[in-house]
Amino acid sequence: MNQDNNIFYSKILLFGEYSVIYNSMGLSIPYSHFRGELDFIGRDKYTDLTFARESNKLLRLFADHLKKILLEKDLPFGFEIYDFLKDVEKGLFFESTIPQGFGLGSSGALVAAVVDKYGESGLSQLKRKTKNNILRMKEVFSVFESFFHGTSSGLDPLNCYVKSPLLIENKNDIKVVNLPDNTNLDNGAIFLVNSGKPRKTGPLVDIFLDKAKNDNIFYQSIHDKFIPFTNNCIQALLKGDIKTFFDNLKQLSAYQHEFLARMIPESLRGVWEQGMKTDDYNMKLCGSGGGGYLLGFTKDYDRTQAQFAENKVEIIPVYNSSAG
């Protein structure tokens, strides 16, 4: 058994939070700093037993949920639900370092791991990363992950499953892409900033949709500013056009500070505004905001890290062009 193949990483939605609702582009990447894998309680492995038992209880509920779904729906591959149920009885749990409620795809990684282990006939064909297969897998994953969120786009488990960056051109066009090596960025980096508190996505999305419905200025700004800034950031990043990328990122950060202020955790509002003022780094939401992590981008990671240290805020690098 190849250990690495059974490990599933967290994910980060670099761009597209909220705006994808109105059909903007989106860009999601796997993030190996946090990860998870299926294991059994008591298999000569030191772990947090309380966490393991709670995870096993959750998997039991998930398996019962899937059993009901599989009686009603046809999947494009076979799923060994009874093997899954038997393993849950034997103490199966999801050993994970992915923080829950922080927008990094904890449930997505779990779903990807379960599908990979218990998905059988026809699944190997779907592993070929064609556009049609990706859309079919997204649909299946949305059904599976709905257990955790009520509704799901399926993008999180899809990203965790394929372990590659995904470009969302629109709802019906998703493809695997490679991020270019920006050797001209010197000490630049993408980093996470921890707000220190979890959040729930659903209520925040409801707030966004309600505001868009009742505030004409906000609704127009989504189409005139939010979507263009988002799309331009993605296109420039994929081309390695650093100047255009940071020009649009600065505008995107300012837009979110003005129009999505409620989604910025109060504890991080000061460092967000400091970045806008100094232009040493730029921050944006990571997923729905409200808590969890925020994303930061800088051309000089050492300088930025020192500034955050002065504010006693820890940052975690996602990508550092000077590393290695």
Q: State the pLDDT at residue 46.
A: 64
Q: Helix (H, G, I), strand (E, B), or coil: what is residue 238?
A: helix
> Tell me, what DSSP letter sits at residue 119?
B
Q: State the pLDDT at residue 184.
A: 57
Percent pLDDT > 70 in the chain is: 94
Residue 296: which residues within 8 A CB-CB, separation 6 or more? 190, 191, 192, 193, 275, 281, 282, 283, 284, 304, 315
Residue 234 clears pLDDT 90, i.e. is over it: yes
CA gap 175, 163 in Å, rounded: 12
For residue 33, how many C-alpha atoms fall within 13 Å in the half-sphere facing its CB?
13
Mean pLDDT value across residues 223-239 = 96
Q: State the pLDDT at residue 22.
A: 92
For 92-96, 137-141, 149-153, 169-173, which range has the lowest pLDDT when averaged over its residues?
A: 149-153
CA gap 222, 112 in Å, rounded: 32
Q: Which residue has the higher pLDDT, 83 or 4?
A: 83
Residue 48 clears pLDDT 90, i.e. is over it: no
Q: Where are the alpha helices (DSSP H) in the chain?
A: 49-72, 81-89, 106-118, 123-126, 131-149, 155-162, 201-214, 216-221, 227-239, 242-259, 269-278, 301-310
- Residue type at 312 in one-letter notation: K
Q: State the pLDDT at residue 205.
A: 87
Residue 172 burial by Cβ neighbours in a 10 Å radius (0-12, 13-18, 19+): exposed
Q: State the pLDDT at residue 224.
A: 97
Q: State the pLDDT at residue 9.
A: 96
Mean pLDDT value across residues 82-88 = 97
Q: State the pLDDT at residue 153.
A: 84
Q: Note the pLDDT tens digit of each residue in 158-168.
A: 999 999 999 99
Q: Which residue has the higher pLDDT, 183 or 44?
A: 44
Q: State the pLDDT at residue 1.
A: 37
Mean pLDDT value across residues 189-217 = 90
Q: State the pLDDT at residue 182.
A: 57
Angstrom CA distances, 159 to 43, 86, 155, 242, 277, stand at: 29, 27, 6, 25, 34
Q: State the pLDDT at residue 102.
A: 85
Angstrom CA distances, 164 to 12, 42, 64, 156, 167, stand at: 11, 32, 30, 12, 10
Residue 150 clears pLDDT 80, i.e. is over it: no
CA angle, corner 249, sides to 185 and 251, nearest 5? 145
Handedness of CA 156, 157, 163, 165 (dihedral sign): negative
Q: What is the mean pLDDT of the chain?
A: 90
Dig out the tokens for 291 from the structure.
């808590």
Q: Note the pLDDT tens digit of each residue in 127-142.
A: 888 888 899 899 899 9
Mean pLDDT value across residues 29-57 = 88
Residue 320 clears pLDDT 90, i.e. is over it: no
- Name residue, tokens 């420039």: 236
